[in-house]
Structure 1
Amino acid sequence: MIKFIHTADIHYGVENYGRIDARTGIHSRLLDFHKALNFCIDTALKEEVDFFLFSGDAYKTTNPSPTQQKLLMESFFRLYAKNIPIIIIIGNHDNPLSFGKATSLDVFNNLPVDGFHVIAKPQTIHLTTKNGPVNIVGIPWPTRNNVTLSQEHTYKSATDITEYLSQAVGNIITQMAAQLDPTIPAVLASHLTVSSGIFSGSEKRAVYGNDPCLLPSQLAIKPFDYVALGHLHRYQDLNNDGYPSVVYSGSPERVDFGERKEDKGFCLVSIPEKNKATHQFIKTPTRPFIQIDVKLSTDEALDQTEQILSAIQEHDIKNAVLKIVYHVPSNLKSKVDLKTVQRACDSAMFVVGIIPVCKPVAREKRGNLSVDMKLETLLDLYFEEKPALKTHKKELIKKALELAEQNKEQEKL
């Protein structure tokens, strides 16, 4: 039986919430992602897998810090020490998108050791494992920089180039699949967007139309036994009722609050024989992201701060990344004691914010008034727009005009 780990999108360098760890001097969020990756590797070592497949996006940027590179190398070398081959697919965050520049993961391909396979262009790896041979077709993130340099595509729109890339990647996968031995277990590993995939919070900020996009049917083809994808941060099988499974392993740790309700983990894949592959999703220990939404009572007699403190007590916020959003009724002003609420959050690892949401009060529309209008006309328009005064408009106008007349008489004296 051939077994391997499938993971992706560890994004070392995501430091949007957290602080510097006093013991190590490393940002707490980097340590969170490092812990999650090492949990994947612990499982790989325990299961004695045949290879470790990483489907792209090791770092947040293409210029990782030395600390980030050191931690990643430490983790991967744990696998190397046990003679477990590592297959690395280049993702969009790993690629500098500039002609001639190295990716952030190319260093693993240039080490004077065996066992690292970095796929920066479409490539088939014929891997001989302790449990038999396996073919791995690797497709990195499809970039447009080389395409746009071609005179053939100079005057094409961004949409046309995206469609061209999507068709080209689909054709490459079909051609490479046709060249494989149909009797040997095969895996398609790639970092790309599939049309039916569900995006998570941080990814929704990306413009979907700019990504080359493929259909599940273009990937779930013979002779593949499993399709290992990276790019989308949510675990999902896009061919749940068919074979092979088309799987995004998701990120092993949360990136932002848009992912707070998602389970995070990786996949342990087993191929006991050709056309019999199965996979198991294994959850990783992650940093809890908790958002507490409090709708304050419209009763002015109730203490607003106490309402928020009561809501906090209903959650286990210890070591969590915490956000509190409280909704203020339109008839009240915010009277929350922020210092008291902050003290109640001391056990949280990081408090993103204590954020009030106030319902905007509808402003009355002003009448079309002009300084050239007579006083009687101005008063008529004014009272017409006041429902409480409209029924007494005539009496009020009469009284107002009388007062104005009296004022003029007094000025003459």
Structure 2
Amino acid sequence: MIQILHLSDIHLGSGFSHGRINPETGWNTRLEDFIDALSLCIDRAISEQVDLVLFGGDAFPDATPAPYIQQAFAHQFRRLVDAEIPLVLLVGNHDQHSQGQGGASLCIYRTLGVPGVIVGDRLDTHKISTRSGDIQIITLPWLTKSTLLTRPETENISLAQVNELLIDRLRIALEGEIRQLNPNLPTVLLGHLMTDTARFGAERFLAAGKGFTVPMALLTRSQFDYVALGHVHRHQILCEQPYVVYPGSIERVDFSEEAEEKGFVLVKVDRGQTEFEFCPIPTRQFRTLRIDISKADDPQAALVAKLSAESIEDAVIRLIYQVRADQLPQIDNSVLHELLAAAHTYTIHPELVSQLARPRLPELSSGSIEPMEALSAYLTHQTELQDIAQDMITAAQALMAREPMEWIEEEGAEAAIRNAIDHPKTLNSVYCEFCLLQVIYLKIEIALMLQNTYSEMNVLCDLFLSLP
């Protein structure tokens, strides 16, 4: 059997806000954490003498990483080249450059002709000779609407119809690769994609909205002995015949991955036979400490007592304490900083307990409500918005129909929010309400994903509602 190490979503260079500068190296400690995690994966590949390493995409947070980050990435994978272990690097959505001439950060390895390294930046089939025999790898990189469809084809049709066209085009293209397979060789589909049955991780916030999802029926073909996926940061097994597996990311990007176990996958594959093992790796702990002192007679003492009982050493800590506005003067932040000094890094978030912390509308308390339903419920209760309600719904539908990441990366909900805070008097009412739509959308998504209360979002909603 051919032994494969399958890892994905390295995101080298992410999470710097949760680290600090190491004075000995000058590097952010979270970068060092990510490098350590990657090094453990490579160590295992070499010690196990695997026949092949498959990387499922998203090497960096974006397509233009800093040179020293690229060097750290290359240094680790160079170890596989030295060990004569073949490597397939799949291009993920974060590896693609969407502006100008496009391209992908990983394509340089193909240009340099690094021996034993294949870069999968297009749908293609690669026959690879390993120490244990030959294997076929179909590479399916991150696909966008423009990859499979022309602009005229998408004009005057609904989002649902666009998605149907995308799936049909992918089905045809994938079928073309399958027909060329050698039926006697083991075959692996290596894809960076979102399936229709996957449970989301942090990548949902990196690609908000209704993105292009691939039906499981396209992946569970009898011609595939193993389906190695990337893109979703949470490890999960979607199917066992054949195995369809997300290994998850190798390190935590942020607190949305706080409870997730990180690691990689070891696979043994032959034609019609597959063995699978998830291998967790030790990573730095992320901990959210939620402490409610709003009903305490002595809020400072209550906060200190509960915080002192927590184990925080060398962890990334997020302290969220619920407090009444009249209690804030009693909180000594210098004491909190002393108590949290043992943490690797920490942030402190006082959360005001008020009417704002409760859902404004009964409909929004449902965990199953869709964003468009939430917007409709909101507009129904806002009589002063009736004149522009339909315009907001139309704008929302256009927003949801756009390419994943497009409105966050190009225009930016965050940018709109910051602009609204910095220049509230210069905004016209329609733009304010459109920004509010983005805030509400993010608030709902965050609440559903993290089950957290973000008083900042509540306050921001009130800011918009107070504008003329």
Instruction: Report the alpha carbon displacement of residue 321 of structure 1 after superposing the two structures with TM.
Output: 1.0
CA contact (8 A) 2:203 2:232 kept: no
Separation in 2, partners of 1:358, 1:205: 29
Superposition RMSD on alpha carbons, in Å? 2.2
Instruction: Report the alpha carbon displacement of residue 245 of structure 1 after superposing the two structures with TM.
Output: 1.0
**For residues 40-65 of structure 1, what are the alpha-carbon distances to aligned partners after superposition, in whole Å with 9 as ceiling and x for unaligned?**
10110111001110010001011110
Residue 168 of structure 1 is matched in structure 2 by: 169
**CA pair 225-202 structure 1, distance change in 2 beyond 3 A:** closer
**CA pair 147-277 structure 1, distance change in 2 beyond 3 A:** closer
**CA pair 156-64 structure 1, distance change in 2 beyond 3 A:** farther
Separation in 1, partners of 2:101, 2:219: 29
Separation in 1, partners of 2:205, 2:124: 30
Residue 80 of structure 1: SS of its match in structure 2?
helix
Instruction: Report the alpha carbon displacement of residue 144 of structure 1 after superposing the two structures with TM.
Output: 2.6
| Range moving further from structure 2, 43-52 or 211-220 | 211-220
Residue 270 of structure 1 is matched in structure 2 by: 268
TM-score, L = length of structure 1:
0.81
Separation in 1, partners of 2:171, 2:290: 45
CA contact (8 A) 1:8 1:231 kept: yes
Residue 337 of structure 1 is matched in structure 2 by: 332
Instruction: Report the alpha carbon displacement of residue 208 of structure 1 after superposing the two structures with TM.
Output: 3.9
Separation in 1, partners of 2:168, 2:329: 55
CA contact (8 A) 2:286 2:315 kept: yes
Residue 243 of structure 2 is matched in structure 1 by: 245
Q: How does 1:142-153 map to 2 (within 5 A)?
A: 142-147=143-148, 149-153=150-154
* Correspondent of 1:256 among 254, 257, 264: 254
**For residues 348-383 of structure 1, what are the alpha-carbon distances to aligned partners after superposition, in whole Å with 9 as ceiling and x for unaligned?**
111122423323389xxxxxxxxxxxxxxxxxxxxx
Structure with max Cα Rg: 1
Residue 18 of structure 2: SS of its match in structure 1?
coil
- Equivalent residue letter for 1:245: Y
- Equivalent residue letter for 1:229: L
TM-score, L = length of structure 2:
0.72
Question: Across the two proteins, how many residue pairs are aligned to each other?
Answer: 356
Q: How does 1:20-169 map to 2 (within 5 A)?
A: 20-98=21-99, 100-147=101-148, 149-153=150-154, 156=157, 160-169=161-170
- Equivalent residue letter for 1:279: F
Instruction: Report the alpha carbon displacement of residue 295 of structure 1 after superposing the two structures with TM.
Output: 1.4
**For residues 226-248 of structure 1, what are the alpha-carbon distances to aligned partners after superposition, in whole Å with 9 as ceiling and x for unaligned?**
10100110000111xx3111111
CA contact (8 A) 2:6 2:56 kept: yes
Instruction: Report the alpha carbon displacement of residue 330 of structure 1 after superposing the two structures with TM.
Output: 8.2
* Correspondent of 1:291 among 268, 288, 293: 288
- In structure 1, list runs of 5 or more residues that go unmatched: 363-413
| Range moving further from structure 2, 288-297 or 225-234 | 288-297
Separation in 1, partners of 2:310, 2:234: 24
Instruction: Report the alpha carbon displacement of residue 97 of structure 1 after superposing the two structures with TM.
Output: 2.3
Residue 4 of structure 1 is matched in structure 2 by: 4
Separation in 1, partners of 2:139, 2:205: 26
Separation in 2, partners of 1:266, 1:357: 40
**CA pair 229-306 structure 1, distance change in 2 beyond 3 A:** same
- Correspondence 1:281 to 2:285: no
CA contact (8 A) 1:98 1:145 kept: no
CA contact (8 A) 1:253 1:264 kept: yes
CA contact (8 A) 1:89 1:190 kept: yes
Richer in helix (by share): 2
Separation in 2, partners of 1:328, 1:292: 14
| Range moving further from structure 2, 155-164 or 229-238 | 155-164
Residue 105 of structure 1: SS of its match in structure 2?
helix
CA contact (8 A) 1:292 1:324 kept: yes
Residue 346 of structure 1 is matched in structure 2 by: 341
Instruction: Report the alpha carbon displacement of residue 149 of structure 1 after superposing the two structures with TM.
Output: 4.8
| Range moving further from structure 2, 198-207 or 146-155 | 146-155
Separation in 2, partners of 1:72, 1:125: 23
Residue 34 of structure 1: SS of its match in structure 2?
helix
**For residues 264-303 of structure 1, what are the alpha-carbon distances to aligned partners after superposition, in whole Å with 9 as ceiling and x for unaligned?**
11101112x3222121111122111110011126241xx3
